[in-house]
Amino acid sequence: MKEKTQPRNPYLLALFKALVKYEVCSTICVGAEVKESEFANKIDDINSYLANQNLKGFGTADNAQDRLMGLEGNNPTDDSLNKFCVSLLKNKYGYCHWIDFTDKEKPKTAVPTTNEKLFPLVRRRLLEIIVTAEKITVQADINQQNQANEEKLVPLKARLFDLQEETQKLQTEANNLRQKLQEAQLSKVKIAELKQALAQKEADFKTIFDRHEALRQNINQQETDHNRAIAATNQQIKNLESLLASANESIKTLQKQAKQDNNKAVFQPVYELIKAEQWEEALDWLDQDEAYEATQTTQLVGDKWLLRGQIWLALAHTDEAEKCYQKATEYRPFMERWEALANFYATTQQLHAQADSLKNALSHTQTEPEKARLALNLGNLYSSLQRYDESESYYRKALAIRERLAQVQPQAFEAYLSHTFHNLGHLYSSLQRYDESESYYRKALDIIERLAQVQPQAFEADLSMTYHNLGSLYSSLQRYDESESYYRKALDIRERLAQVQPQAFEADLSMTYHNLGNLYSSLQRYDESESYHRKALAIIERLAQVQPQAFEAYLSHTFHNLGNLCSSLQRYDESESYYRKALAIRERLAQVQPQAFEAYLSHTFHNLGHLYSSLQRYDESESYYRKALAIRERLAQVQPQAFEAYLSHTFHNLGHLYSSLQRYDESESYYRKALAIRERLAQVQPQAFEADLSMTYHNLGNLYSFLQRYDESESYYRKALAIRERLAQVQPQAFEAYLSHTFHNLGSLYSSLQRYDESESYYRKALAIRERLAQVQPQAFEADLSMTYHNLGNLYSSLQCYDESESYYRKALDIYKRLAQVQPQAFEIDWAKTLYSYALLQKKQDKPYNDTVLQVIHLFEQHPMHPESHQYLFKLRKIAAFFKEEIAKISNAYQKIIHQAELKQWEGVLHACSDFEVLYQKLNPTQQLEDQDLYAEVLMWRGRAYSCRASVAVIPAKESLYAAHELFCALEESTLAWQNGFYLIEELKKELSTGWMSRLSSNKKQFESILAVYQTLHSLGEPEEKAFVEKIKAIAKSLQAL
């Protein structure tokens, strides 16, 4: 047979010859042609080095020389090529080791034509040859194994064919025997013989069939083993390819680092100037010889433009900086240039331009790890812009790459894979796709917990983030125990890390404090909630002062949630203050980045609407609800999954507002809109949305109760009750308060329907919960408790159980009076309503109730714009009509006194004063206070009448005038006070002894009394009417002279 003149892989041979001739030997004479005679000398050098290093398996110098020299022939044989492959694979580590050693000895050796370092190039090409040789060897083994398997299968298949033919013959014979047995009328002996022959044939057939089945199974097993061997071989090939790719990546990274180090050395003067903030000098250095740029590498030119951009950005010239960054993208490496431009846009808050730049960077990326990183960053950016479809798309691209990389090199890529799982979990949580969110968070947690056990310093921060976000997820699902557990795990890590590195971890710590505050607020553990919110606020305010762009948004979240907390505690002034602080930040941020911050702005608008509704400032409430509605309707059209739930909150609260304003048609319309959304969401995510759905059911029950559509009202209350009882069994801290609302309102409904036993039962259930909650959190629950006390008072009044009714009214009034002193706008109306019910009870009991009615009128008159004030005042003024009649009689009696006094009919004055006194005593204390000036004047005229009647002693006149004097002075009625003072002094003078001017010492007490009256009048000031002033001054002057 003619010997082949070409090897199976001539490319491999030629490549290796070139490697030996031009690269391995280049350490002797770089770039020169090497003669064949020099190969032996080089082999001796290699063997000498390997011998010194005690490396085994390379072979002797002679053998190596023979192998290398044998390959120099023009027509090597297949055997020589195979021997070469075997030798190459056997000694690959020796070759690599020698190349590394030589590289250390001569690190600056380079190929002149490309200026590239020689030995990294040699090593890479040698690795490529080795991998190719391994592929050839493996493929040869596969071909040889396939050929052997085929040879084994040939006789087996032939035997199988023979057995099939024999089986077919036996079947034919058996059929013939059966036919003969049926057709022939044979004797019993012949039949028995035939049956026996048939049975024998069937036994033979079964034996052959079993052999056939065993042979078939054997063939299937061999095929399975063969396929497995092929699959294993393919996997080995893939692993080798991956290792080669990793080697190439490492080489590229080293080359990139070398270039960066070289560039850094070139621009070292600029870096020093930038460090010293000498911006103009740095720009001058970069611009000193622009013509020289034509001779520089493109990377150096691009680096110059980047440095210019950094300097202009530091000088706040963003337009110039942008031009420089854009110019840099014209030079290699393109991916890094586009990413630098994206970072510039991120710094200047141009997020859409940042996204475009990142896309360009991604299009210029060649390596899979970089593609995954950039895709993840795009996913994060689009998530912050609430463009969730695009965010999910890029997260999925990153996930596909990182899952593939983590299968081959788990140690290198599992951490990055966990980040992608984590971010997908966060995205789906924002979209309220909670099952998917939990699934991805769990995948991230499985990886990151395992990594953190091995390297806690590297992965504990990431672990705390996953714990934190799982806490947030379970809080949204109202799985509060799990939520608290994960928040606590995050807190343990973050507090420890923040002690060591506060700058790096305090921001994350504040987030966990913040979310624990929200959790405890949901659980109505308000003291703990406020404590954690305060801790978060202390950190985030400090950070926002230093870096407002980075932390103002988080600061607004803390202000907003403190507003929520204070609102729940009915500390409305503080609540409004915190909401206003949050609003100021969020309005400013939303103007710059509406896509990122409009949603948060709508939350503050919504909650301010809720606050002002609680304070009965309904115009302001409606205004803020409308602002929130405008944003949320627009967002829900684009991203219904993310914003429909928030939209339902605003629909619901507008329904509640219009119900309070007695605009019932609008109220029902908005409740129906909220109901449509919440029923749909609760079908998909009952854990997340059933609580909200129960609120809408409950409030529709309230509305239909006001409209006296009692059947519908009861139906909706029952739906709310079914949900709330179930939720309160699982989470009593979170839902008992809401359950008490439904119990209370069912009690009110049944009272309206005169089903008093059921009414009392539900009121008692509400009372049991509210009394227990008010003991723990009085600020949060006393108002609700007072409502139940009030309604129980109404119930027992209807049942004519007046003592019990009065007891509950008094309990309600004690609470409302105390609350109204702190928050009059929020609680004076409720206080007035309870007083009104109490006044009706007093009327039923035949007790004086005029004081109560007037107090109620006064309270409602303080709130003329409240929708209930008008109807209550209309009722109350009817009840108080008799008071006006009494006041008219008093006015008539006063006019009569004045008329009789003008006529000096003193007996008539005294009779009129007695009539006035009787009427005045019938007035309530409030009205008596209002008419004190009249009463004082009546006392004056009564004293004057006593004084002017000769038959009356001095004492009654003096007493009446003294009483009038005290009242006039207290009321600061100076004109009447001086008039009454003159009458009083005249009366006191009557007590002086005869000849009083000569016996001054015996009348000292009377003198002092007169002077005391004068001094009191003098302290009031003189009125415009001077007649009585001059008279009293004359008397006082005479006394002072004595």
How many alpha carbons fall within 13 Å on the CB side of residue 725? 10
- In this structure, is residue 713 part of a structural domain? no
Same domain, 297 and 351: yes
The lowest-confidence range among 82-96, 397-411, 698-712, 821-835 is: 82-96
- In this structure, is residue 306 part of a structural domain? yes
Q: How many CB atoms lie within 10 A of CB 295?
A: 8
Name the domain count of the chain. Answer: 4
Q: Is the pLDDT of residue 193 over 90?
A: no
Q: What is the pLDDT of residue 94?
A: 66
Same domain, 64 and 20: yes
Q: What is the pLDDT of residue 16?
A: 46
Distances (CA, A) of 632 to 405, 602, 608, 639, 770: 41, 7, 15, 10, 35
Question: Which of 854, 893, 430, 462 is closest to 643 using CA atoms?
Answer: 430
Q: How many CB atoms lie within 10 A of CB 813?
A: 20
Strands (E), 162-268: none
Interval 986-1011 mean pLDDT: 64
Cα gap 129→135, rounded to integer Å: 10
Beta-bridge mates of residue 110: 117
Contact present, 514 and 532 (Cβ < 8 Å): yes
Contact present, 121 and 111 (Cβ < 8 Å): yes
The residue with greater pLDDT, 982 or 535, is 535
Same domain, 196 and 74: no
Same domain, 99 and 147: no
Q: What is the DSSP annotation of 616-663? A: T-HHHHHHHHHHHHHHHHHHHHH-HHHHHHHHHHHHHHHHHHHHHTT-
Q: What is the pLDDT of residue 27?
A: 41
Q: Is the pLDDT of residue 1004 over 60?
A: yes
Domain boundary among 366, 398, 424: 366
Domain boundary among 339, 366, 393: 366
Same domain, 65 and 183: no
For 312: left if phi > 0, alpha if psi spans -120 to 50, otherwise beta; the answer is alpha
Query: Above pLDDT 90, what percent of the chain?
Result: 34
Contact present, 138 and 89 (Cβ < 8 Å): no
Q: What CATH number is associated with residue 914?
A: 1.25.40
Q: Is residue 874 very low, low, confident or very high in pLDDT (cuts 50, 70, 90)? A: low
Q: Is residue 1027 very low, low, confident or very high in pLDDT (cuts 50, 70, 90)? A: confident
Q: Is the pLDDT of residue 671 over 90?
A: yes
How many alpha carbons fall within 13 Å on the CB side of residue 458? 9
Same domain, 234 and 327: no
Q: What is the pLDDT of residue 67?
A: 42
The lowest-confidence range among 140-149, 594-603, 631-640 is: 140-149
Strands 116-117 and 110-111: what pairing? antiparallel
Beta-bridge mates of residue 448: none
Query: Above pLDDT 70, what percent of the chain?
Result: 76
Cα gap 116→977, rounded to integer Å: 115
Contact present, 116 and 79 (Cβ < 8 Å): no
- In this structure, is residue 967 part of a structural domain? yes
Q: What is the pLDDT of residues 812-858, one digit of tens each?
A: 999 999 998 888 888 888 999 999 899 888 888 877 777 787 788 88
Residue 59: give the domain boundaries. 10-107
The residue with greater pLDDT, 200 or 85, is 200
Q: How many CB atoms lie within 10 A of CB 37?
A: 8
Structure tokens at 656: 């509640």
**Three-state SS string across 391-460, please?**
HHHHHHHHHHHHHHHHHHCHHHHHHHHHHHHHHHHHHHHHCCCHHHHHHHHHHHHHHHHHHHHHCHHHHH
Q: What angle do CA 941, 942, 946 make, to 5 degrees?
A: 115
Q: Which residues contact 41 (CB under 8 A, 6 or more apart)?
A: 28
Contact present, 560 and 584 (Cβ < 8 Å): no
Distances (CA, A) of 264 to 107, 259, 277, 439, 760: 20, 8, 18, 46, 84
Cα gap 1009→991, rounded to integer Å: 11
Contact present, 334 and 346 (Cβ < 8 Å): no
Q: What is the pLDDT of residue 24?
A: 44
- In this structure, is residue 374 part of a structural domain? no
Q: What is the pLDDT of residue 439?
A: 95
Torsions phi, psi for 709 (to 5 deg): -100, 75
Structure tokens at 926: 């409030």
Q: What is the pLDDT of residues 884-908, one digit of tens each?
A: 566 667 677 777 777 777 777 788 8
Q: What is the pLDDT of residue 965?
A: 78
Cα gap 720→700, rounded to integer Å: 10
For 54: left if phi > 0, alpha if psi spans -120 to 50, otherwise beta; the answer is left
Q: What is the pLDDT of residue 739?
A: 95
Q: Is residue 990 very low, low, confident or very high in pLDDT (cuts 50, 70, 90)? A: confident
Torsions phi, psi for 117 (to 5 deg): -60, 135
Q: How far apart are the first and last CA of the chain?
A: 168
Q: Is the pLDDT of residue 459 over 60?
A: yes
Q: What is the pLDDT of residues 121-136, one digit of tens each?
A: 666 766 777 777 667 6
Same domain, 162 and 198: yes
Amino acid 739 reads: L
Q: Is the pLDDT of residue 474 over 70?
A: yes
Same domain, 136 and 50: no
Cα gap 537→950, rounded to integer Å: 83
Structure tokens at 55: 């490396």
Is residue 696 classed exposed, middle or buried when 0-12, 13-18 and 19+ CB atoms within 10 A define those classes?
buried
Cα gap 344→336, rounded to integer Å: 12
Structure tokens at 994: 């005869």
Q: Is the peptide bond before 333 cis (omega within 30 degrees of 0)?
A: yes
Amino acid 80 reads: S
Q: What is the pLDDT of residue 342?
A: 86
Torsions phi, psi for 953 (to 5 deg): -70, 165
Same domain, 236 and 280: no
Cα gap 648→626, rounded to integer Å: 13
The residue with greater pLDDT, 649 or 781, is 649
- In this structure, is residue 642 part of a structural domain? no
Angle formed by the axes of helices 118-183 and 10-22, nearest 10°: 160
- In this structure, is residue 357 part of a structural domain? yes
Domain boundary among 195, 214, 245: 245
Q: What is the pLDDT of residue 507?
A: 92
Interval 719-735 mean pLDDT: 92
Q: What angle do CA 77, 79, 85 make, to 5 degrees?
A: 110
The lowest-confidence range among 570-584, 716-730, 918-932 is: 918-932
Cα gap 234→242, rounded to integer Å: 12
Residue owning tokens 């009915």: 570
Is residue 54 classed exposed, middle or buried when 0-12, 13-18 and 19+ CB atoms within 10 A define those classes?
exposed
The residue with greater pLDDT, 812 or 947, is 812
Q: What sign results for the dihedral spanned by CA atoms 991, 994, 996, 1000?
A: negative
- In this structure, is residue 74 part of a structural domain? yes
Q: Is residue 484 very low, low, confident or very high in pLDDT (cuts 50, 70, 90)? A: very high
Question: In which element (H, E) is residue 115 found?
Answer: none
User: Which of 174-183, 404-413, 601-610 holds the top average pLDDT?
Assistant: 601-610
Q: What is the pLDDT of residue 917?
A: 79
Q: What is the pLDDT of residues 955-976, one digit of tens each?
A: 777 788 788 878 778 777 778 7
| Residue 117: DSSP 8-state | E
Q: What sign results for the dihedral spanned by CA atoms 373, 379, 384, 385?
A: positive
Q: Is the pLDDT of residue 462 over 80?
A: yes
Q: Is the pLDDT of residue 159 over 90?
A: no
> Model-level pTM greater than 0.85?
no
Q: What CATH number is associated with residue 314?
A: 1.25.40.10
Q: Is residue 996 very low, low, confident or very high in pLDDT (cuts 50, 70, 90)? A: very low
Q: Is residue 251 very low, low, confident or very high in pLDDT (cuts 50, 70, 90)? A: low
Q: What is the pLDDT of residue 896?
A: 79
Q: What is the DSSP annotation of 97-134? A: HHHHHHHHHSTT-EETTTTEEHHHHHHHHHHHHHHHHH
Interval 715-730 mean pLDDT: 94
Q: What is the pLDDT of residues 9-51, one digit of tens each?
A: 443 444 444 444 434 444 433 333 334 444 445 445 555 544 5
Length of the chain: 1042
Q: Is residue 756 very low, low, confident or very high in pLDDT (cuts 50, 70, 90)? A: very high
Is residue 917 classed exposed, middle or buried when 0-12, 13-18 and 19+ CB atoms within 10 A define those classes?
middle
Q: What is the pLDDT of residue 751?
A: 92
Same domain, 33 and 142: no
Q: What is the pLDDT of residue 11?
A: 37
- In this structure, is residue 49 part of a structural domain? yes
Same domain, 281 and 220: no
Mean pLDDT of the chain: 79
Contact present, 606 and 653 (Cβ < 8 Å): yes
Same domain, 277 and 192: no
Cα gap 795→789, rounded to integer Å: 10
Q: What is the DSSP annotation of 676-698? A: HHHHHHHHH-HHHHHHHHHHHHH
Beta-bridge mates of residue 111: 116
